[in-house]
């Protein structure tokens, strides 16, 4: 087990190094930088001033020197300064992480609470009227774009309640935060819950056809024992994998939802930083999402051994 953890740790480091190089190089390959955008927006073309601005930002140095300076700063906890606001990148990023984390956590909670039980019910009641209804609902969740659903929710609130549920001020209490984030979380979590529900159903149906399930029924085990103790416990492994993938996706994939509901989170801030070629913000945010993704991937692998004692890491 210890040897496996060490191997995975070095693999995680290698993955993060590869992502850092890829992100750094791709940003420099995109035409234009912050100096070009600022001078084009101001309608000014003064080569001397532009060169001075690039020198202040360190953009006149070779790419390798810029990369080494960035990685060295990361290792020392220095994320650099935002090109646009001229504030420390850490001060710009940190206040937005809890906002996105709350929204993503609530969306994932809704997805699991609705997806897994409904998937089990759909499998247990296969080919019944309820099964057909749930399959149509899950297909709708996978088919509808989240931004379209979010806009429908906003129009519905305006039409029926005369209000619009968007982020204006930071919530003062816990329940205010739950109310504020629950609507966008439901909008983005509908797709995830549909995916989890369909995967749970297909996994349950596959397990329920196994010989040991028929043996348990032949021994007189109740339906609840067969379905939840035997079938669901063995069908949950692929579902856990998808839940982990969705958790990593939600930390960086809430761009449209945060934009529609005016939520000042990480994903929306990342798009704005890309538009302005704010290299320190983009690089650090992408690395933050990458760290979240590889850590969740590692935790899911460790969870396999807990859920299934047959799995041994060596």
Class level of CATH domain 95-307: mainly alpha
The ranges of the chain with pLDDT < 70 are: 32-46, 49-50, 53, 252-253, 308-314
Give the start-to-end residue ranges of the domains of the chain. 2-86, 95-307
pLDDT at 133: 92
pLDDT at 46: 66
Chain segment 2-33, per-residue pLDDT in tens: 777 788 888 888 998 898 888 888 877 777 66
Chain segment 204-224, per-residue pLDDT in tens: 888 888 888 888 888 887 777
Distance of CA 198 to the CA centre of its chain: 20
The reply to whether the predicted model has a pTM over 0.85 is no
């Amino acid at each position: 087990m210890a040897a496996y953890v060490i191997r995975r740790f070095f693999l995680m480091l290698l993955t993060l190094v590869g992502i850092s190089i890829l992100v750094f190089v791709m940003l420099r390959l995109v035409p234009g930088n912050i100096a070009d955008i600022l001078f084009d927006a101001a309608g000014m073309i003064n080569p001397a001033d532009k060169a001075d601005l690039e020198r202040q930002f360190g953009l006149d140095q070779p790419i390798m020197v810029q990369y080494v300076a960035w990685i060295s700063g990361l290792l020392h906890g220095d994320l650099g300064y935002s090109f646009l606001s001229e504030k420390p990148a850490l001060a710009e990023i940190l206040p937005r992480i809890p906002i996105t984390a709350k929204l993503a956590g609530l969306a994932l909670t809704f997805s699991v609470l609705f997806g897994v039980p409904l998937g089990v019910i759909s499998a247990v009641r296969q080919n019944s009227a309820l099964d057909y209804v749930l399959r149509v609902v899950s297909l709708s969740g996978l088919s509808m774009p989240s931004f379209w659903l979010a806009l429908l929710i906003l129009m519905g609130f305006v039409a029926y309640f005369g209000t619009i549920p968007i982020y204006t001020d930071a919530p003062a209490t816990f329940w205010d935060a739950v109310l504020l984030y629950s609507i966008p979380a439901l909008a983005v979590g509908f797709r995830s819950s549909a995916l989890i529900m369909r995967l749970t159903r297909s996994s349950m149906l596959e397990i329920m056809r196994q010989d040991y399930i028929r043996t348990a029924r032949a021994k007189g085990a109740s339906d609840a024992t067969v379905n939840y103790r035997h079938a669901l416990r063995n069908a949950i492994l692929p579902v856990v994998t998808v839940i982990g993938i969705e958790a990593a996706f939600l930390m960086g994939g809430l761009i449209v939802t945060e934009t529609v509901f005016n939520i000042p989170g990480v994903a929306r801030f990342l798009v704005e930083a890309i538009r302005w070629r704010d290299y320190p913000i983009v690089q650090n945010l992408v690395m933050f999402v990458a760290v979240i993704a590889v850590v969740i991937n590692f935790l899911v692998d460790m969870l396999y051994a807990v859920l299934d004692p047959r799995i041994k890491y060596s």
